[in-house]
A and B are shown apart, each in its own frame.
Chain A
Amino acid sequence: MAILSASPNSFSQLAVLSSDWPGGFWLHWVFFTVIILAFVLNTALIFIWLERRALGRLQVRLGPNRVGPFGLLQPIADVLKLLTKEDMIPAKGDKLVFWLAPLVAFVPVLMIFAVIPFQSGALLADLNIGILYVVAISSVAAVGVFMAGWASNNKYSLIGAMRDVAMLISYEIPIVLSIVGVVLITGSLSLTEIVGAQQNIPFILLQPLGFLIFFLGSLAESNRTPFDLVEADSELVAGYHIEYSGMKFATLFLAEYAEVIAMSALMTTLFLGGWQGPLLPPIIWFLTKVFAVFLLIVWIRSTIPRLRIDQVMAFAWKFLLPLALINLLITSLQIVFWPEASPWLIVFLNLVAMAVLVLSWSRFFRLGGERIEV
């Protein structure tokens, strides 16, 4: 839990500096790059521990509890084990691409954190096109997965990579459409302004359907359990990283967890009010919300079984995409024709609209001749 104890100090230091910040471009750059690296690496370790412990509890077993108090040192032991393993490269694989793939998968995910505000003004770059940058950069990570799957020269890894790219292309559309709803209300693409616009009401209340679509879409994009058929053990053994071992496997694994952290942080920023909250310091609020979203994801993992690939595709195109379009239509109608309405009335209307839409659409949703109901 190093980051939890260390962060408030380093960020209060920043608050002192922020009067003449950015004092130096390179100083700012180095400072936040180190912060982001430390944040991602430490949070990934904590998330791995938290996920294994929480999964254990949810499945009525103990989970890892031997290494250190409450098994806290288990992720560090895992990392040491991975680092000391033999690094193997398949003989008939494409060695250069095989070597580059973990980097191409990890670096774009790391770059997402450059625009996420940890606190008021505490971010690497406050881009005007913040959220568009996030969408663009995160689509590059698919190339890394594809490189890993192809360079391994293994049919299972190739099928896993193909599934990942198919899912990524499909779920990108509803995700972006649900983000557009938030952008319409805020009137800006900058993540700082999106957080600022949620001072009174977080967007999860104003855009409940948008949050639902974004949440399910990002579960699919980061290959979490109901949609984890990229690495479906029963069909594909392990998915696109089947031939990887040692440090390269650790990097791919880290990229996957970094993506989950990025998605949790994005949901926090876009829909849960970001670092804002009463009493506690902003960084504590930010971390609390990120961890709450992550625990929800773990809860879903322990509850819902894995879907088939046709179910996943049909869900994206026949369920999420129409609902995202309707959500966009409702939001823009409210903004154009009813700009001075009380926000709480809009909250109520949108919650009712979400309930009606989700329930009625699930009645239309058919798959292979069978009807699926909530």
Chain B
Amino acid sequence: MGLEIAFWVLAVVAIAAALAVVTLRNVFRAALSLILCFLAVAGIFVTLSADFLAAVQILIYVGAIAVLIILAIMLTREVERGSLSNKLVVPVLISAILFFGVATFAMLNTSWPVVSLPPAEPTTALLASKLFGEDGFILTVEIAAILLLATIIGAITIVREK
């Protein structure tokens, strides 16, 4: 019962914040709504007993990505009125509705496997053995690390003075 109330409150907050991100003219407020949306998603992770995922969601999305977005917004003009010369409302609306339809169709027609076991208590050890242990996803982790390293080197090359 408590979990359901928590889920519905968080879901409403997340969707309202996500709508605010696209509808608000003020770009700074839109970025703040994005942070609220990320926090609500982290809350949903908590209700699903995924404590590690919730902490990482806040750490990476709120603490790093959202803060970088805000820093980037500070370097743009027309923060309070948004992009005035933008004429892409109709194409974006069409592609958004198409994406929404496809995603809803996929979600409704997938048979989601539900495990009857109770959630594991210390999630970190299980996650680590899945990621780094034998038959795990170590290759994926390494590839992601190399991708990030390449991105960092690319960024440094772009901003380096001649």
**A: which residues have CB within 8 A of B?**
94, 96-97, 127-129, 132-133, 135-137, 139-140, 142-143, 146-147, 150, 158, 162, 165-166, 168-169, 172, 189
Give Cα distance in the complex from A344 to B58, angstroms.
38
Given contacts A140-B62, A140-B63, contact A127 B71 (CB under 8 A): no
State the interface size on chain B (CB cutoff 8 A). Answer: 26
Question: Is the CB–CB distance between A140 and B51 below 8 Å?
Answer: no
Question: Is the CB–CB distance between B29 and A94 below 8 Å?
Answer: yes
Q: Which residue of A lies closest to B73 (CB)?
A: A150
Given contacts A128-B51, A129-B55, A158-B74, contact A189 B124 (CB under 8 A): yes
27 contacts between A and B (CB under 8 A): A96-B29, A97-B28, A128-B121, A128-B124, A129-B51, A129-B123, A132-B52, A132-B56, A135-B55, A136-B55, A136-B58, A136-B62, A136-B63, A137-B58, A139-B58, A140-B62, A140-B63, A142-B67, A143-B35, A143-B62, A143-B67, A147-B32, A150-B74, A158-B74, A168-B67, A169-B67, A169-B68
Contact of B67 among A94, A129, A165, A189 (CB under 8 A): A165
Given contacts A133-B55, A162-B74, contact A172 B63 (CB under 8 A): yes
Q: Could you mark each residue 56-90 of chain B with 1 if its beta carbon is under 8 Å from any beta carbon of chain A, else 0?
A: 10110011101110110010000010000000000
Given contacts A146-B70, A147-B32, A189-B124, contact A169 B64 (CB under 8 A): yes
Closest 8 CB pairs of A and B: A139-B63, A136-B59, A136-B58, A136-B55, A132-B55, A128-B122, A129-B51, A129-B55
Q: Could you mark each residue 39-59 of chain B with 1 if its beta carbon is under 8 Å from any beta carbon of chain A, else 0?
A: 100000000000110011011
Instruction: Return chain A residues, CB-CB under 8 Å to B123.
Output: 128-129
Pick from B71, B121, B123 the residue with the most CB of A within 10 Å: B71
Tally of contacts, chain A with chain B, CB under 8 A: 70
Q: How far is the CB of B31 from chain A (nearest CB, A)?
A: 9
Q: Which residue of A lies closest to B63 (CB)?
A: A139
Give Cα distance in the complex from A79 to B9, angstroms.
36
Instruction: Return chain A residues, CB-CB under 8 Å to B39.
Output: 140
Q: How far is the CB of A95 from chain B (nearest CB, A)?
A: 12
Give Cα distance in the complex from A135 to B80, angstroms.
32
Give Cα distance in the complex from A127 to B74, angstroms.
36
Instruction: Return chain A residues, CB-CB under 8 Å to B58.
Output: 136-137, 139-140
Instruction: Return chain B residues, CB-CB under 8 Å to A166.
Output: 71
Q: How far is the CB of B59 from chain A (nearest CB, A)?
A: 4
Q: Could you mark each residue 85-121 of chain B with 1 if its beta carbon is under 8 Å from any beta carbon of chain A, else 0?
A: 0000000000000000000000000000000000001
Q: Which residue of B lies closest to A140 (CB)?
A: B62
Question: Is the CB–CB distance between A165 and B63 below 8 Å?
Answer: no
Pick from A94, A127, A136, A165 the residue with the most CB of B within 10 Å: A136
Instruction: Return chain A residues, CB-CB under 8 Å to B64.
Output: 139, 169
Question: Is the CB–CB distance between A127 and B29 below 8 Å?
Answer: no
Instruction: Return chain B residues, CB-CB under 8 Å to A147.
Output: 32
Give Cα distance in the complex from A137 to B51, angstroms.
13
Give Cα distance in the complex from A209 to B71, angstroms.
32
Instruction: Return chain B residues, CB-CB under 8 Å to A94.
Output: 26, 28-29, 80
Instruction: Return chain A residues, CB-CB under 8 Å to B55.
Output: 129, 132-133, 135-136
Q: How far is the CB of B126 from chain A (nearest CB, A)?
A: 11
Instruction: Return chain A residues, CB-CB under 8 Å to B124.
Output: 128-129, 189
Q: Which residue of B lies closest to A169 (CB)?
A: B67
Instruction: Return chain B residues, CB-CB under 8 Å to A168.
Output: 67
Question: Is the CB–CB distance between A132 and B35 below 8 Å?
Answer: no
Question: Is the CB–CB distance between A165 and B51 below 8 Å?
Answer: no
Q: How far is the CB of A164 from chain B (nearest CB, A)?
A: 10
Give Cα distance in the complex from A279 to B11, angstroms.
51
